[in-house]
Amino acid sequence: MSLFAQKITVFDIKTGKPIEAVAIFNLNKNKSGVTNEDGIVDISKFSEEIIYFSHVSYAQFSSKKSEIIQNEGQVYLSKQSEQLDEVVVSVFKSDAKTNRIAKQIEVITAREIEKLAAQTSADVLANVPGIRIQKSQFGGGSPVLRGMESNRVLLVVDGVRMNNAIYRKGHLQNAITIAPNMLDRTEIVFGPSSVTYGSDALGGVIHYYTRTPKLSEKREVKSSFFSRFSTVNNEITNQASVELSFPKWSSFTSVSHSDFGDLKMGKNRSHGFSDWGKVNYYSENIENIFSENVSVNTDLNLQRNTGYNQTDVLQKFYVPLSKKTDLKINIQYSTSSNIPRFDKLTELKDDTDVSSLKFSEWYYGPQKRLLISPQLTVTPQKKWLDKGTFTFAYQNIQESRIQRKFGDLERSYREENVDVYSLNGDFSVPVAFHRNLNYGFEIAYNDVKSNSFGKELEILDNKVVGFTRDFPVQSRYPDGGSSYLSSALYVDYRQDISKKSTLNSGIRLTNTHLQAKWIDDTFITLPSSDISLNNTALTATLSYVYKPVKGWQINTVLSSGFRSPNIDDVGKVREKNGNVTVPNIDLKPEHAYSAEVGFQKYFNNRKFRLGANVYYTLLANYIYRDNFELNGSASVTYDNEVGSAVANVNRGNAYITGFTVNYLGKLHKNWSTLGSVTYTKGETYDTNEPMSSIPPLFGNFEVNYINEKVEAGINFRFNAKKDIKDFNINEGIDNHVQTPIVNVNATNEEDKYFGSPSWSTVGLFGRYILSDNFKLLGRLDNIFDEHYKEFASGVSAPGRNMSLSLIVNF
C-alpha cells in the first residue's frame, strides 16, 4: 500500500464539499486523527480495523480501512443514520443531533417521500405522527399540529418563512405550493417554537428543505425523469431534473407538472350513512361555459369540480466562493390553474333540497408563489463567530377568489398580491467543548395589496362572450393597502452538562408593526379608516435532556410562544355560512405557554425506538371568531345578502393537551416497522367550549420489507369518531355542516348533525429497482374503498387508488 493511499478525504454527501474537523478513531480510541480544512486526514497509523468518523453536524459513520481505500480514499458523511439518536436536524437553524434535543421532532427523508407517492407536499405530512391534514377542496391541505393550524403553525422553506400577513385563521392551502419530489427532506418540530422562529410558531414548525446540487471533481451531469399515474383522479405527474456538478460550482434544475382530474370518493359506507358525501348535482359553469341550471351527476361518488393542475419550478445554484464562504441561490416558482372550492360549490340554499346549489361559480384563481433567495454561509472560525448564515429572500404571492350565484349574472372578483422582503442572520459559536451558543436576527416586511371588482356577464348561446357592466365589490382586505413589519433578536444556548444530560435554553425579542388603510366605505364603515398596531413580545424556552442509562432518553420542555395579529386577523371581510367576518382594529396578540415531557427507549443497537410525548399548552388572550357589532349593528350586507357580523376578538384562557406514542425502527435484518397514536383535547376556560381544530384520536401502523432490489409494505390508518358535542359550532372552523345530517328539521345544530364518523384504511406499497437507472414504484391505497372525510374537511377522501411511478436516472 502506498503512502499516498494512506491519506483520505471526507466529504458532505449532499454538497460534495470537504468537511473540516472530523474526528476519526478506532474502537479503543488509542488511535485518532482530525481532518484538515481540505477534509484530508492520514490513516497510516491505523491497521486493518474499523475506523469511526464523528462530527457534531453529521451522523457517526464507521467503515473498514480496506473498504475506504477501495473507495479511492473517499468517505461521505450524512445527517441520517440507522442509529436513530444520531440523526442530525437543522430545524433549529444550527445542526444538532436528536440525542441533544428535547422537543418532539419528526424527519421525512427523500426516500420516504418517494415511497409515499404523495400527490402534494401537504399529503406528505399526512403520514407524520401527530399531524392531520384538513381539505376544503382537493387543491388544498391545511396541516394541524397539536390542535393548531393555519396561522398558528409556521411553514418554512429553505430557511425562509412562508407564513405571510394574510395567512388566515381557519384553513390554508399554501402547503401544496412545493412539489414533493423536489424535497430533500422535511423536518417538523412540535410545540411553541417562537424563540427560533418568532410569531405564528404556536403548534409547531414545518420546515421544507429542497434539494441542493452537489460539487464533484469528476465534472458530472446527471438527469432524472419521474412519471406517475393514479387511478382515483386520473392524476398524471411528470417531473424532469438536471444536476450539473463541477469542482467550483453546481446547479440543480427541476420542473414538475401535475394534472389532477375529479376525485372519486370511496363507495363502501361502513359508517352507515348511505348518502353522506354523495354529489347529486353540480355546476357546469367552468371557464366560459354558462349553464343557468344545476346539472345531474350520473356518478354520485365522483366529486365534480375537484380537478386542477399545478406547475412547480426549482432552480438552485451552489458556489463555494472560498474554503470558508459558500453562496447558494434559490429560485422557486409555483403556479396552478383555477382551483374549484368544492365545499362552496356543493353548498345548498336549502338542506332539504339537494338540487338547491347556492353557487354556480366559486374558485380560487391561479395560486402563484415566487421565491428568490440568495444565502451566504461563512465559517471564519473565530471566537465570536464559528459559522454564520445570511438569508435574504423576496417572495411574491398572488391569490384570488371568483364567485357567482345561481340565478345571477353578477360575478365578483377579489385579488390579493403580497410582496415579502426578509433578511435573516443566524450565527453559532462553540463556547467550549460541548457548549454551543447561537444568536441571530430576523427582519421581514409584508406589503399587501387588495383589489376587488364585479362584472355582469354577457351570455350568447350558453357561453360568456363579454361583460355588460361593472359594479363595486367589497375588498377582502384594506383597499388602501396594508403592511406588516416584523423584527427580532434571539439567543439560544446548548450545553452538555455531563455525558448523560444536555440543557437547552433560549430567548427572543420580537416587535411587529401593522398599518392598514381603508378607502371605499360603500359597504362597511369603520370607526377609523387608518390603523396602526404595534406589539412587542418576549418569548423563552428551557429544555433538558437526560439519559439515565444506556438506551434511555427523558426529555422535558418549558416554552412560550406568541402570535401577533396580522392583516387577515385584523382587516378581513368575507362570508361563510351566513356569517360575515368584519375588521376588528382592537385585536391584541395571543400567547402560548407549554410544558412537555417525553421519553425515548432505544433497542437493537439504537436502530429501534419507542417514544412518547405528553404536553399541556395554555393559550392566554386567545383569538376567537365571535359575534360582533359594527357601528352598533349586529348584521352586515355582503354580496347583496344580509349576514350576521362576526370578528376575531380576544378572549381569556384556553388549553390544549394531548399525547403521541410512536415507535420506529428495524425488527430484524430486512424487516422494519413504524406506528403512532395521537390524542388531543382542547377547551376554553372562560366559556367551557371545545377549541376549534382539535382532531379525534388517530394513528397509523406500518410494516416494511426491504432488500437490495425489492421493498414492500403494508399500512393501516385510522381515525376515531368525534362526537358533535366536541365540535366548536360557533367559529365554523370545524365545519360541522360537512358531517352527516341525522335530523334535517332540528333547530339545534347538535341535534341536526352527527359529528365525524370513525374510519380506517389499509394500503400496500411496492418498489422494485430494475437497475441503477430504472426504478418502479406502486401503491394501492384504501384497498377496501372506504368512504370517509378527514376531520373538518369539505371534500371526501380518495377512494381506492392504484398509483404507478417510474423513475429514470441518466
- The residue ranking higher by pLDDT, 588 or 98, is 588
> How close are the terminal C-alpha atoms of the chain, in Å?
35
User: Average per-residue pLDDT in the chain?
Assistant: 93
φ/ψ of 68, rounded to 5, equals -65, -45
pLDDT tier at 2, thresholds 50, 70, 90: very low
Q: In this model, does residue 1 exceed pLDDT 50?
A: no
* Whole-number Å distance between alpha carbons of 309 and 120: 11
Nearest to 165 by CA among 369, 367, 393, 418: 418
| DSSP single-letter state for residue 750 | H
Q: In this model, does residue 282 exceed pLDDT 60?
A: yes
* pLDDT value for 305: 96
pLDDT tier at 630, thresholds 50, 70, 90: confident
Estimate to the nearest angstrom the gap between the alpha carbon of 647 and the chain centroid.
27
Contact 486, 198 (CB under 8 A): yes
* Whole-number Å distance between alpha carbons of 682 and 655: 5
- The residue ranking higher by pLDDT, 57 or 166, is 166
**Percent of the chain whose pLDDT exceeds 90:** 77
Q: In this model, does residue 782 exceed pLDDT 60?
A: yes
Nearest to 566 by CA among 201, 199, 206, 205: 199
Q: In this model, does residue 508 exceed pLDDT 70?
A: yes
* Residues forming beta bridges with residue 296, ordered by sequence position: 281
Residue 47: partners with Cβ closer than 8 Å, 6 or more residues away: 65
* Whole-number Å distance between alpha carbons of 206 and 210: 13
Cell 372578483, residue located: 413
- The residue ranking higher by pLDDT, 639 or 655, is 655
Amino acid (1-letter code) at residue 36: N
Average pLDDT of the segment spanning 64-88: 84
Q: Which of 260-274, 439-453, 561-575 has the lowest mean pLDDT?
A: 561-575
- The residue ranking higher by pLDDT, 369 or 578, is 369
Q: In this model, does residue 326 exceed pLDDT 50?
A: yes
In DSSP notation, 34-63 reads: E--TTSEEE-TT--SSEEEEEETTEEEEEE
What is the signed CA dihedral for 131, 132, 136, 137, rounded to 10 degrees?
80
Cell 362552496, residue located: 344
Q: Which of 78-87, 257-266, 488-497, 701-710 has the lowest mean pLDDT?
A: 78-87
pLDDT tier at 93, thresholds 50, 70, 90: confident
Average pLDDT of the segment spanning 427-444: 89
* Whole-number Å distance between alpha carbons of 64 and 82: 18
Q: Classify residue 169 by burial, with Cβ atoms within 10 Å: 0-12, 13-18, 19+.
A: buried
Residue 157: partners with Cβ closer than 8 Å, 6 or more residues away: 178, 207, 208, 209, 210, 332, 371
| DSSP single-letter state for residue 746 | -
Q: In this model, does residue 3 exceed pLDDT 70?
A: no
* Whole-number Å distance between alpha carbons of 94 and 437: 10
Q: What is the pLDDT of residues 665-719, one digit of tens each?
A: 998 889 999 999 999 999 999 999 999 999 999 999 999 999 989 999 999 999 9
Contact 620, 554 (CB under 8 A): no
Contact 371, 395 (CB under 8 A): yes
Estimate to the nearest angstrom the gap between the alpha carbon of 609 and the chain centroid.
24
Q: In this model, does residue 793 exceed pLDDT 50?
A: yes
Q: Would you call 176 helix, strand, or coil by DSSP?
A: helix
Q: In this model, does residue 75 exceed pLDDT 80?
A: yes
C-alpha cell at 503: 440543557
Q: In this model, does residue 299 exceed pLDDT 90?
A: yes
**Dihedral sign of CA atoms 319, 321, 322, 328 in order:** negative
Q: In this model, does residue 159 exceed pLDDT 80?
A: yes
Q: In this model, does residue 5 exceed pLDDT 70?
A: no
pTM, 2 dp: 0.93
**C-beta atoms surrounding 772 within 10 Å:** 7
- The residue ranking higher by pLDDT, 629 or 414, is 414
**Dihedral sign of CA atoms 217, 218, 219, 221 in order:** negative
Q: In this model, does residue 351 exceed pLDDT 50?
A: yes
Q: Classify residue 61 by burial, with Cβ atoms within 10 Å: 0-12, 13-18, 19+.
A: buried
* Whole-number Å distance between alpha carbons of 48 and 54: 19
| DSSP element (H, E) containing 413 | strand 410-432
* Residues forming beta bridges with residue 51, ordered by sequence position: 63
Amino acid (1-letter code) at residue 147: G
Q: What is the pLDDT of residues 36-45, one digit of tens each?
A: 988 999 999 9
pLDDT tier at 119, thresholds 50, 70, 90: very high
Nearest to 317 by CA among 307, 325, 327, 303: 327
What is the signed CA dihedral for 112, 113, 119, 122, rounded to 10 degrees?
110
Average pLDDT of the segment spanning 777-794: 97
Residue 782: partners with Cβ closer than 8 Å, 6 or more residues away: 266, 761, 762, 763, 797, 798, 799, 800, 801
Nearest to 129 by CA among 559, 593, 802, 658: 658
Q: In this model, does residue 318 exceed pLDDT 80?
A: yes
341-to-307, 537, 542 alpha-carbon distances in Å: 10, 37, 43
- The residue ranking higher by pLDDT, 365 or 604, is 365
